[in-house]
Structure 1
Amino acid sequence: MSVKSVTHLNFRGDARAALEFYRSVFGGHLAVVTYEDAGNPQDPTEADRVMWGQVVADNGFHVMAYDVPSRLPWSRGENAFFLSLRGETAEEITAYWEKLSDGATIAQPLGPAQWAPLYGMLTDRFGVVWVVDVASGYEG
């Protein structure tokens, strides 16, 4: 078993440009899934925005990003990132989730998601937002 934490950056319409910029700086592979790609365009004007994206480079650089939908609060520099915690098994992720949940505010209970066998989001007792999931390949 292994677990990996990755900085997950939050934007309002600039996620693709930011990921392309970071790829130009660090190299690597860019992957982008739009809200439309995932069949989740709740606002048709935001269908082409990034629901999930990442840059992974052979040199070890890894960053994830998405465009916060306009229906959700977002302020540049105030809630600019999440800490993404990915594991290989449901048991592993559930154990971390249970510990992180102590004193936390749950935004999305841990459970199956369209893109992962398990996914959840919480703000821990120190104010850090965690997105927790079991890693799986995107089949889009």
Structure 2
Amino acid sequence: MAQINPYIHFNGNAEEAFTFYKSIFGGDFAMVIRFKDLPNSEHPIPESEAEKIMHIAFPIGETDLLMASDTPEFMGKHNENETRSKISISADSKEEADQLFNGLSAGGTIEVPISDSPWGSYFGMLRDKYGIEWMVDYDSKYSGNS
């Protein structure tokens, strides 16, 4: 079966952001590759970017990966407030939903406080301190827990 794994681009702070996510979700990085790890004589990387993240992968749950990279400076900066994609997390309990929501929203902006929704799930939306948007949801009908 196909699988969807979000891939995020950062303006030079991918490692900082992923260390923050690791502190919330727990676990270890599956892969960390820096620009210096893949030398390319056709497109040399400036020394100022050698330590930046070319690719990072972080397992969340049993089958999902959150992945990212830093955007090289020659490609320009992207406006983090214009990225209107959201990463949706389905928690196994209200307690886990609260823990994830509270952790991810630290230093960020809560768009929809986590609470019981009109459609029956426990739901909230936020933009974390790195500009990434998250939806956190717990629905007992789909989790196997009540």
In the superposition, the TM-score normalised over structure 2's length comes to: 0.48
Q: Which has the higher helix share?
A: 2
Higher relative contact order (CA 8 A, sep 6+): 1
Greater C-alpha radius of gyration: 2
Q: Normalized per residue, which structure has more strand?
A: 1
TM (norm. structure 1) is: 0.49
